[in-house]
Structure 1
Amino acid sequence: MAEHDADADEGLVTRYLEQARVQRRLAPRTLELYAEHLTLLRARAQEARLPLLRVQTAHVRRWMAQLHAAGRQPRGIALVLSCWRSFYRWLGHERLIAANPVQDVQAPKAARPLPKALAVDDAMQLADFSRPDADPWTEARDRAIVELLYGCGLRVSELTGLDLRHSAGARGWVDMDSTEVSVLGKGGKRRAVPLGRQAVQALQAWLALRGQGAAGRGGDDGAAALFIGTRGARLTPQAVWKLLRTRGIQAGLAAPVHPHMLRHSFASHLLQSSSDLRAVQELLGHANIATTQVYTRLDFQHLAKAYDAAHPRAHLRSPAHAEPEVPAGDPKKKPP
């Protein structure tokens, strides 16, 4: 590429990044990533002796294939494409190109990771765990939190948004008379989830102690909140993450426990018992059943493990389970 073309390309990138900083107000870290991805674009274009304004879709597809062959993960490629697409969209707005060469280029599909769920025994171990030497107030609160997350499949934001009772401004509340919890989920969609016997008992124990100690000193929001901290303020999602991680370690679980893991466990264990995908969709508050279907893969893993452990012909599924063949006439062969 000629020297003046390199200078022109550098000028275009500099102008775009400045526009992104001032008008789009991108975060400093995002700007750093954009600069890194556009440096990659300039390097690829320079290798092809192309000005950035002459890059075509075929070039972009070839460069994406090279990134994939070099080991770049699909998610990383998608981020690179997003940056390049935005850059060429800006060039189009500046009337410097007629069409966006990145518009129709898609990153390779990434395998969707399975949600992490606890085994049933581990979930029960966590739910049944108690610390006899702990402060009764904190212990009652934490046990109620575990029961609601695992027993109702709540998101952590839904849990911390719960109030003691219904009001016009409440995002969610617990109705002990009807034994259900009402929450405001994603997209402003409200749903009601039934409370199991263990959750009701845990909530009753917590409500009997909640008004003691620091309760009520956290202002209006803390006074209305179902779950509060030791200073009386509404409990934050970050605090729930921290207490669950600590409680999981104290309960002797190997895997670090977090709120969404209990939601995943709720869904997976329900499907293992009922196979009612629609019901689980409603209980989780998923707008699209495809989101819920990922838990059927967890359910299949559970069934496959049960098959491998119990069925007399299970070893035929995998060479790793096959018994070694014994040659005919081998003196070490045992009689039938």
Structure 2
Amino acid sequence: MDRTPLTAQPQGLMIQVESFLRYLHVERRLSPVTITNYRRQLTTVVEMLNDMKMAQWQQLDTVKARNVAAKSRRAGLQAASMALRLSALRSFCDWMVQQGELPANPVKSVHAPKAKKRLPKNMDVDEVSQLLNMESGDPLVVRDRTMLEVMYGAGLRLSELVGLDVRHLDLATGEVRVMGKGSKERKIPMGKTAVRWLERWLEMRELYDPEDDAVFISTQSGKRISNRNVQKRFEQWGIKQGVNSHINPHKLRHSFATHILESSGNLRGVQELLGHANLSTTQIYTHLDFQHLANVYDVAHPRAKREKP
């Protein structure tokens, strides 16, 4: 959450930045996490521009934008973080053009260096079975197992899991309604196992006097569970279950996508389930699927086996 004091008054270049952030919150309805990231990046950019003695946004040109990129790189910013910073600045300048404050976007032609594409890490089916092989009547265990089952069963993002309300669940049909990036809503199946564990947890949930409609709450406060708490609980669960790989929400989402693609080969279907706006985002899983097929080929095909010397 944004922790800027209410008494703090924006000055200089930050005045327009604060107006832009309000626009993202009120009109675009972006998540608090996204807005916090925009604020962090744009505040750093403003500090750099202040060092360049720039007093008004109308003074921003391509040269200064390139200087921001160069200074960020010298400060050790990685390619992905650089892309995020320039994207935030580019979006802000697009908004300034819409407001009539800038004649054109001076950051349009400034790009971050290309980052090396990293394949998302995933678990195989046996690892997932090992991870989820725990039975207990302890409410805390039931809650955590339910979160894992829903995350893997529906392929949710961490923010989507934490943001789930009871009214979003349709246990009769085994579907869940989530609000994804850009406030885009989608309805997805989550599997019979996830439904069964949700039924168990929802009964126990009432013991902790939940403050609101949140599905997953802290058993100590009754408030909606935090992102950090989920990450911590998943990591601890993986250790207890003796899973070799580090367990985190992203890994479960990636495993969901990879396993669905391996079984169905339906890339468009996986795109819709994950809530990706562009198919290109989903296509990274085709590389994982190809690796799986290549391994099968190497083991099974007679011509793939090496001859003994």
Same fold (TM over 0.5): yes
Matched residue SS, 2:302: coil
**2:279 alignment counterpart:** 289
**2:153 alignment counterpart:** 151
Shift of 1:28: 8.0
Counterpart residue identity of residue 298, structure 2: D
**1:47 alignment counterpart:** none
Indicate the larger mover: 272-281 or 303-312: 303-312
Indicate the larger mover: 270-279 or 178-187: 178-187
User: Which of 265, 269, 279 is the aligned partner of 1:275?
Assistant: 265
Give unpaired runs (5+ residues) of structure 2. Answer: 1-10, 19-37, 53-58, 95-102
**1:202 alignment counterpart:** 197
**1:124 alignment counterpart:** 129
Structure with higher Rg: it is 1
TM-score normalized by the length of structure 1: 0.63
Residues 1-336 of structure 1 correspond to what in structure 2 (within 5 A)? 19-20=12-13, 24=17, 74-75=79-80, 104-130=109-135, 136-164=138-166, 166=167, 172-173=168-169, 175-212=170-207, 214=208, 216=209, 218-219=210-211, 221=212, 224-231=213-220, 232-314=222-304
Q: Quick check: 2:62–2:110 contact (8 Å CA) kept in 1?
A: no
Counterpart residue identity of residue 306, structure 1: V
Change (3 A) 1:182 1:301: same
Matched residue SS, 1:146: helix
Change (3 A) 1:255 1:99: same
Q: Quick check: 1:150–1:266 contact (8 Å CA) kept in 2?
A: yes
2: distance between equivalents of 1:195 and 1:298?
A: 22
Indicate the larger mover: 200-209 or 149-158: 200-209
The CA deviation string for residues 179-215 of structure 1, in whole angstroms up to 9 with x for no partner, is 2111121222221111312112211222232222x2x
Shift of 1:124: 1.7
Shift of 1:249: 1.1
Q: Quick check: 2:41–2:85 contact (8 Å CA) kept in 1?
A: no
Change (3 A) 1:182 1:80: closer
Identity of aligned residues (%): 44
TM-score normalized by the length of structure 2: 0.68
Change (3 A) 1:228 1:279: same
Q: Quick check: 1:245–1:256 contact (8 Å CA) kept in 2?
A: yes
Aligned-residue CA RMSD (Å) = 4.2
The higher-RCO structure (CA 8 Å, 6+ apart) is 2
Matched residue SS, 2:132: helix
Give unpaired runs (5+ residues) of structure 1. Answer: 1-17, 42-52, 90-97, 167-171, 317-321, 324-333
Change (3 A) 1:99 1:198: closer
Change (3 A) 1:289 1:136: same
Shift of 1:103: 5.2
